Amino acid sequence: QVQLVESGGGLVQSGGSLRLSCVVSGSIFSINRMGWYRQALGKQRESVATIPSGDITNYADSVKERFTISRDNDKNTVDLQMNSLKPEDTAVYYCFANLRVRQWSPSYNYWGQGTQVTVSS
């Protein structure tokens, strides 16, 4: 059974920093794309940052130059360093991993349970 567990959320003042971490565990053959989404109260879930591989990253325009995504393929982890946080960054942040549990099985997206990030003004 695959599990994604996030950590690192919390309350921070505007302009502050937080680092989110997500570890993927369980029976895994390979992990493709990893990343982070967020969902603010009353809004749809949106992509924040994705990392198909270690050299390629994609960011939402709203977080470019402030957030940095990274992954460790040996540890099956994906992190999100968030700097210069703004009140509009307040949301529940979810990590995801697109992975295969067996060599010839299709790949699926798996999600963490979410971690709350609150930025006060």
- pLDDT category at 17 given cuts 50, 70, 90 is very high
Mean pLDDT of the chain: 96
- pLDDT category at 58 given cuts 50, 70, 90 is very high
- Mode of pairing for the β-strands spanning 10-13 and 115-120: parallel
Cα–Cα dist 48/93, whole Å: 9
Check if the beta carbon of residue 87 is closer than 8 Å to that of residue 121: yes
Cα–Cα dist 76/34, whole Å: 10
